[in-house]
Amino acid sequence: MVSEELLALLVCPMGKAPLRREGDLLICTRCGPRFSIKDDIPNMLIEEAELPAGCNSLADLECVKLGVAKVD
């Protein structure tokens, strides 16, 4: 199981916002991408994250629209 100490250190790779845990997912509290946890290892690659409803690409994330994060 992923420790609470590790979870407290992890932030969204896009906008650096805190994450919340829901089952086997870590979800950005600002822009909503969902990062899977497999074999107790969080996959924090934004390219492999599940985007929230209404987002068709990384450019649609709220943190990108607000200028907090940039898409390369």
Q: Are strands 41-42 and 34-38 parallel, antiparallel or unpaired?
A: antiparallel
What does pTM read for this prediction? 0.88
**pLDDT band for position 6 (50/70/90)?**
confident
Is 72 inside a domain boundary?
no
24 lies in some domain: yes
Structure confidence by residue, pLDDT tens digits, 60-72: 998 999 998 888 7
Instruction: Residue 44: give the domain boundaries.
Output: 4-65
pLDDT per residue as tens digits for the range 11-51: 999 989 999 999 999 999 999 999 999 998 999 999 999 99
In a domain, 39, yes or no: yes
CATH (domain of 39):
2.20.25
8 falls in which pLDDT band (50, 70, 90)? confident
- Within-domain flag for 70: no
- Report yes or no: 15 and 31 within 8 Å, Cβ to Cβ: yes
Q: Is residue 71 part of a domain?
A: no
The rounded distance, in Å, linking the Cα atoms of 28 and 21 is 9
Q: What is the pLDDT of residue 40?
A: 87
**How many independent structural domains does the chain possess?**
1
Say how far apart CA 71 and CA 66 lie, in whole Å. 12
